[in-house]
Amino acid sequence: NEFLLEKLTSNWLAYGTLIVLISPVVEEYINRYILFLLPLKILRKSIPYFQRNWGVFFIAMISSLIFAVFHGEQFLWPYLAMGLIYCWVSYQSNFWGSILLHISNNLLFFVLNMI
């Protein structure tokens, strides 16, 4: 794994593509679509009261906590906050909004690390 990571990071184009495009799309699909939007859609049909109250926040917390844990415990709180923001964006606009925000965030991170 370390060899693969070293090889990948030495190729800035491959590393940038992974960090800026592939990771955000995959992470948002799993964390925002499968773990957040789909449960909301299912529960909204069966429990109309669910969406208006703590249900949305509860599912957003679960999705965001999973997102944060996968990024490592040393970054738990910042990634939990970012996950909640991504959930809010996907809930208020759509799934593509959270993908664009995530891509923008990773692009900024990538550019700052390249300097």
Q: Residue 73 burial (CB < 10 Å; 0-12/13-18/19+)? A: exposed
Per-residue pLDDT, 62: 97
What's this model's pTM, rounded to 2 decimal places?
Answer: 0.85
- Give the distance between the most distant pair of CA atoms in the chain: 52
The reported pLDDT for the residue numbered 37 is: 95
User: In the prediction, which pLDDT does 2 show?
Assistant: 64
Q: For position 115, what pLDDT does the model report? A: 80
Tell me the residue range of the domain where 104 lies.
Answer: 2-114
The predicted pLDDT at position 71 comes to 92
Residues (pLDDT < 70) of the chain are: 1-9, 50-53
Domain count, the chain: 1
The pLDDT value given to residue 87: 97
Residue 46: its pLDDT value, please?
81
Question: How distant, in Å, are the alpha carbons of 7, 47, 107 from that of 22?
Answer: 17, 35, 12
